[in-house]
Chain A
Amino acid sequence: MIGLLPDRLYRDRRIAWAAFGVLAVLLIALPFLVEAGLGRTWVRILDFAMLYVMLALGLNIVVGFAGLLDLGYVAFYAVGAYFYAILASPQFGLHLPFWVLLPMGAGIACLFGVLLGAPTLRLRGDYLAIVTLGFGEIIRIFLNNLNAPVNVTNGPQGINMIDPVRLGGHALTRPIELFGVQISGPHAHYYLFLGLTLLVIFAAIRLQHSRIGRAWAAIREDEVAAEAMGIHTRNVKLLAFAMGATFGGLGGGLFAAFQGFVSPESFTLMESIMILCMVVLGGMGHIPGVILGAVLLTMLPEALRYVGPLQQELIGRVAVDPADLRMLLFGVALVLVMLFRPQGLWPSPVRARELHPDNPDQVRQEQESLYDAER
């Protein structure tokens, strides 16, 4: 784990180990602290936060590392979720094991990423955004309608009673007693998700500081120069897309097993935009920032539930439904962040400069690098 630290921390390994020790204890104790302080629902919210961290880190590879705007990311999430739901539920009476289906679902999502990316990745930035958005919608339309003539997705009703995650014969949804401690379903999922999230973080960090990660950054900075330096830009962009899709598919499988239920409702464009917000709000390309963004944006809507009682207290009635307010606030936050803090809440020191609008040079270069559209 030491290898993940910035260079200056190499110097004092003891401090590093101590910091890791504290962090580890904190992460292990977190669900119990949260349950004691805020209640069992918040442990579930914590689980979702972990899930969104994985998704946001996946999208961050595409948007933050490689600089490609993907507005249809939720499609890959949907593919992963439905793949698991269809093969591990009463829908077809199939109950294939979770640990086989999870990687397969991620693989299928990866395949979808390649299929979508191959023809479209030569498009300039905003066109790519629109095409991915269209793709996301197409997937959703199919999920909604593939209940006839053969009932594959069960249409708008979605698929119910999906098999839970099993660890050595034990269904993770059931409470279990370990070392004298009662571990509930949400708690158990927290540890599972935490483990996988750490793996995803690990992979993302290693990717960023690798030959491939440098190639992504080069493409983001100046595609023409990257190509001239021998980077097969189309393939390398496709790789980013495929990696992002894989993480999306992984998240989808976990979501289906955790929730026990999937329907097209969970995979709307808004969901894509939400994940994009996490990346942008946190700090594109900066892994700690993206994690922060995902956790914040998962918690925020839940916290906004308290806006109802708050209104009651302040003005004597609930003037605006908190659920309505929540998306409004998202929209406002998106605009404000782009206007006043385009680099996000916790940007990487480098990206901060790059996304700042007062930089005509950058814009010029970006526009010049669009020569691909000629072909």
Chain B
Amino acid sequence: MDVLLQQLINGLILGSLYALVALGYTMVYGILELINFAHGEIVMVGAMVSVSVLVALTAAGVPVALALPLALAAAVVVCVVTGVLVERVAYRPLRNAPRLAPLITAIGVSIVLQNLAMIFWGRQYLSFPPVIEVQVYAVLGATVSNIQILILVVAALTMGGLLLLVNRTRLGRAMRATAQNREVAGLMGVDVNRVIAATFIVGSALAAVAGLLIASYYGIAHYNMGFILGLKAFSAAVLGGIGNIPGALLGGLLLGVIESLGAGYIGDLTGGFLGSHYQDIFAFLILILVLTFRPSGLLGERVADRA
């Protein structure tokens, strides 16, 4: 078995999930210059809702081909409502406040969402029902499963859709204008509040998709899965260049690959001193290194233009 290729495949799939979540961070940051700390929790909500709905529907005998889209739809609705509520309650009143204030409300909202989920769903893991029979294919000495392929396809389609939305529609144009300069966009007749709300809607819908896919990838959902995931996705967005949509894609994929390769080789690299359970460290190291040495990220424009 080709270990390197296997790690690369795993990394790409993991990375496509990070990218989906990273998009939510980057879109909000691009427009509001706000780190939407609660975004990871929205992903968690998406995962929990989709898994619960899926469990309920399959138990009721609904066929998988129908249950999966329904679960996704339910997750999208709940996530969008949550995302818009969060924006209205915790961010919008503070839009002109010093930066510290919305960052702290964002942390507060994360805690609230996490604990609501814990009270609602309990502390135990929800397992993703085995609705799809796993088939494993051999590719050049590595293996890939049908679920992994499905994840990759859905993630790619979603991201393609987002790119179309941003680059080809009126709403997308308004979003880009608002990201460039909120005041000018407002003067040019863009309803900035609606664009911001739309950004949260789109970002939350992406989070719902990501939640479902992540739950199927790991086979479980848990009330505190969102935080670390969110941090990693944020790191991915920073790596690619925060505020930059292609950057989030690139950053997500790169982080996935780095984590996967890193976890595979860290033992050899450090002479066995550090083991694969240090996997989580890579995201934070990347975060610190990028922010310290190249805060604009790989594809980002100079931060100064924004500041």
Residues of A whose CB lies within 8 Å of any CB of B are 67, 69, 71, 119-120, 123-127, 129-131, 133-135, 137-138, 141, 144-145, 148-149, 269-270, 273, 276, 280, 320-321, 324-325, 327-328, 330-335, 338-339, 342, 355, 357-360, 362-363, 366-367, 370-371, 373-374
Contact = CB atoms under 8 A, between A and B. Distances in A.
B291 A335 contact: no
Interface stretch (B63-71, B135-143, B166-174, B273-281): B273-281
Say which size band chain B's interface belongs to: 35 or more
Interface string B18-52: 00000000000000001100000000000000000
B280 A373 contact: no
B134 interface: no
9 contacts: A69-B100, A69-B103, A71-B107, A120-B292, A130-B238, A145-B275, A270-B111, A328-B115, A374-B304
Residue of A119, A129, A130, A342 contacting most chain B CB atoms (<10 Å): A130
A355 B94 CA distance: 11
Given A69-B103, A374-B304, A331 B110 contact: yes
Nearest to A339: B93
A138 B286 CA distance: 11
B99 interface: yes
Contacts of A149: 272-273
A335 B90 contact: yes
Given A130-B234, A324-B118, A328-B115, A371 B307 contact: yes
B98 A362 contact: yes
Nearest to B113: A331
A347 to B, nearest CB: 14
A339 B105 contact: yes
Q: Give 4 closest A-B pairs by Cβ, nearest first.
A: A334-B108, A331-B111, A331-B112, A357-B97
B284 A355 contact: no
A137 B307 contact: no
A222 to B, nearest CB: 12
Interface string B283-296: 11101100110010
B148 interface: no
B281 A131 contact: no
Contacts of B118: 324
A120 B275 contact: no
Contact of A338 (B94, B116, B234, B280): B94
Given A130-B35, A339-B105, A355-B98, A137 B284 contact: yes
Contacts of A321: 119
Nearest to A124: B307
Given A273-B111, A374-B307, A123 B291 contact: yes
Contacts of B234: 130
A338 B97 CA distance: 10
A2 B34 CA distance: 45
Contacts of B273: 149
Given A145-B278, A331-B110, A355 B101 contact: yes
A161 to B, nearest CB: 26
Chain B contact residues: helix, strand, loop or mixed: helix
B275 A357 contact: no
Given A327-B115, A355-B98, A367 B307 contact: yes
B111 A328 contact: yes
A336 to B, nearest CB: 8
A120 B97 contact: no
A216 to B, nearest CB: 15
A149 B267 CA distance: 11
Contacts of A120: 288, 291-292
Nearest to A368: B307
B303 interface: yes
Contacts of A366: 98-99
A137 B98 contact: no
Nearest to B33: A126
Contact of A357 (B93, B119, B303): B93
Nearest to B29: A126
A145 B277 contact: yes
Contacts of B302: 374
Nearest to B305: A374
A331 B110 CA distance: 7
B269 interface: no
B111 A334 contact: yes
B108 A129 contact: no
A339 B91 CA distance: 9
Contacts of A133: 231
B292 A119 contact: yes
B304 A328 contact: no
Given A130-B234, A339-B94, A331 B278 contact: no
Given A119-B292, A137-B280, A145-B278, A374 B101 contact: no
A127 B99 CA distance: 11
A134 B111 CA distance: 18
B280 A357 contact: no
Contact of B103 (A126, A320, A355, A359): A126
A252 B149 CA distance: 48
Contacts of B228: 137
B94 A357 contact: yes
B230 to A, nearest CB: 11
Nearest to A342: B101
A338 B113 CA distance: 17
A370 to B, nearest CB: 4
Given A324-B118, A334-B105, A367-B307, A123 B295 contact: yes
Nearest to A360: B96
A332 B231 contact: no
Given A134-B235, A338-B105, A373 B99 contact: no
B275 A332 contact: no
A327 B280 CA distance: 25
A331 B292 contact: no
Given A131-B287, A137-B231, A357-B97, A338 B292 contact: no
